[in-house]
Each structure stands twice: as structure tokens, then as C-alpha cells.
Amino acid sequence: MLAIYRKYRPKNLGELLGQEHIVEILKNAARQDKFSHAYLFFGPRGSGKTTTARLIAKLVNCEKRQNDKKFKEQGEPCNDCSACKAIDSGHGLDVIEIDAATNTGVDEIRNLQEGVRLSPTSFKYKVFIIDEVHMLSKAAFNALLKTLEEPPAHAIFILATTEYEKVPATISSRTQRFHFRKLALTEIIKKLNSIVKSEKLKVSDEALELIAALAEGSLRDAESLLDQITSLDQSVELKDVERIAGKIGYKKTAKLAEYLLKGNLEESLNYLNEIDQDGYNLIQLNKDLIHYLRRALTLKMDPKIEEIYKKELTKDELEHLKSHSTLLKEDKHIAILKSLIRAYSEMRYSPFAIVPLEVAIIENLK
């Protein structure tokens, strides 16, 4: 049985989520047959780098696109010819994927150099996808540089990395570079909703929102977590996601933030201990609390920042945040924020995670 993230992997550029700027450039390149011999994709995990690399492999080798001028204008692969089907199923011999995280040495790149010289066996182009390219050794980078300087006409290289700054300038300057952005919360929720409907799963809206938030901008992480949680074979509610992930939902964080902002010491401590008794990760709770108060503070200082938060939060969450920002007293609550940050550092190394957090709350609300 296919994992959800593999089953719902985009089959064409139009399905690629949140990277419209890249999609348009690649579609135009496909219409004009102006593909580069080397690409560098960089950005956070789960943003679509490897998926896009496979889509390029399909585009350059799609038989229908090569033979049908009218279809070519769509700038998409047909997903129906033998090349598209072989690449989709992972059986395309001329699409070579290398994980640089486990193949860091110069020998692997020299083997690649040997393979580059050979003509494709069944496709028009040989496509080499090197994932996590920043992990290559210095010698391996030097060997790769030689190949990129004088590539054969039948070879296309696609390098992908989450750490662009670690890729030598000599390599990146010989590629077309594309920055993949972190996906907005609303985009991930929308995609998860469509998967839930297709799979006829029962997942509450609040549970989906927490799954999307836990993914931190990575669609793949969100889909994997959805897969894990729906394997429970029951209706999935917020409490199920909280239990499995060990992280509380946005509403619980907002409630604790409200007690702090209103200066209610007794309610803050009672609520914190309830959360602790339920076995949630208090270090993560404090991290979420810091982010929540930070957002409330910046929203109070600069109301225009709401436009950015619209991408990160649901409508209800944003309304909560706006109402809480009105409770803020700058000096007092900046002091609380600083105490929580200090407590977070202490909690990570303390066998009693609740103590630094309790002390921070008592110091500021007594």
C-alpha cells in the first residue's frame, strides 16, 4: 500500500503547491525547449524540490511533448507515454537519483562521471538528481564541477539542497537556481482536506489544523503525519493528534497566553499543571507560547504584519491573536517573554521541565 505522500505526489507542474513562480518559468522553458543543463533547487524540506526534479525528468523525455506541437504549448508532461509512466513508477533507467547524504565521497561522483558519458538507454535525456548535494565532500564537489563545466548534450543535472550556503559558489554559478519557499499553513490544510475527502477519512478540522502546524511548512511531513494518525482506523479528533504528537493544539496555547496576559497567576499555574498531568511536552508548549506572545507583540507594534500572519494562521487563530494583542502592556509582557525564553533554555537540560516554566510565570505574575 502506497504512503499518502507518494500517492498524492504531483504528476504535473500545475499540481505543485505554493511554488507558482517556479512553475511558470519551467512551463515556459518546456514550451520553448529551453532547458538548462544544470539546476539547483534549494529551500526547506518537503517543499517540492525532488518532486520538481522528477517532473523536469518527465518533461524533457515526454514523447507526446516531443511529437505533438499543440500539446507542447501546455508546458506539461502527458503522464501517458512510456517515458512518463516509467519515471512515475521509478523504473526509468535514465533517471538516476543519488542521495548525497549517504554517498558523500569522490568515488560515487566518479562513477556518475562514467555514467554521464554513456548515451541514454531508452530516453532522449539522462537526468541526474543529486539530493542533499551540500553533503558532498570537497573532492566530490571538485569532481562534480568538472562534469558541470563540460556536460554532454544528453545530460541534465538537478541538484537539491536544504542548505544553499554550503554549496560552493563554483557549483551554484553553473546552474539555474530556484528557491523553494516554505508552504503556508492554509495551503497545507487545503491539500490535506482534499486527501481526506479522496481517501474518505474522518478527520476533524481542528485535528487537520494541528497536523498542518506540526509540519512547519513541509507538505511531505504533513502527509506522513496524516498517514500515521489515520492508521488508527477511527475518527481522528484533535486530542488524538495531541496524544500522538505530544504537542498541544493552538487553542490550549492561546488559553494559557490569555491567562498570562491578564495577569491571572492562579489560573495560569492550574492550567499548566493540567497540561503536565496529561503528559504533553512542556518544552514544546513553552516554545509555542513564546511564538504566540511574540506574534501578539509584533501585531500590536505593527498591525500591517497581519498580512504575513494570514499565511501562517487560520482565520480563527488570527482573530484570537488580534484580541490578545490588545491586552498587551509592552514593558510588562516583554519581561514575561524574556523570562519564558530563559526558562526554555533551562527546561531543555533540566530533569524537571515544569519548574523553570512555573518559576518564570510566578516571577512575572506574583
Note the pLDDT tens digit of each residue in 150-184.
888 999 999 999 999 999 999 999 999 999 998 98
**Among 76, 88, 63, 61, residue whose Cα is nearest residue 30:** 76
**Do 28 and 79 fall within a single domain?**
yes
Amino acid identity, position 360: A
**Do 82 and 54 fall within a single domain?**
yes
**Among 296, 272, 292, residue whose Cα is nearest residue 282:** 272
pLDDT in tens, 243-288: 887 778 888 899 999 999 999 999 999 999 999 998 888 998 999 9
| Cβ contact 109:119 at 8 Å | no
**Do 72 and 166 fall within a single domain?**
yes
Q: How far apart are CA 3 and CA 182, in angstroms?
A: 22
Last residue of one domain, picked from the residues 146, 161, 179: 179
Residue whose entry in the numeric block shows the C-alpha cell 512553475 = 23
How many domains is the chain built from?
3
Dihedral over alpha carbons 31, 33, 37, 43 (to 10 degrees): 0
pLDDT in tens, 74-112: 999 999 999 999 999 888 889 999 888 787 677 778 788
**Do 74 and 191 fall within a single domain?**
no
**Do 152 and 229 fall within a single domain?**
no
Domain that holds residue 356: 250-365
**Do 115 and 172 fall within a single domain?**
yes
| Cβ contact 219:81 at 8 Å | no
- The whole-angstrom distance between residue 97's C-alpha and the CA centroid of its chain comes to 20
**Overall average pLDDT of the 136-148 stretch:** 87
Tell me how far CA of residue 23 lies from CA of 13, 76, 99, 232, 349, in angstroms.
6, 10, 24, 36, 45
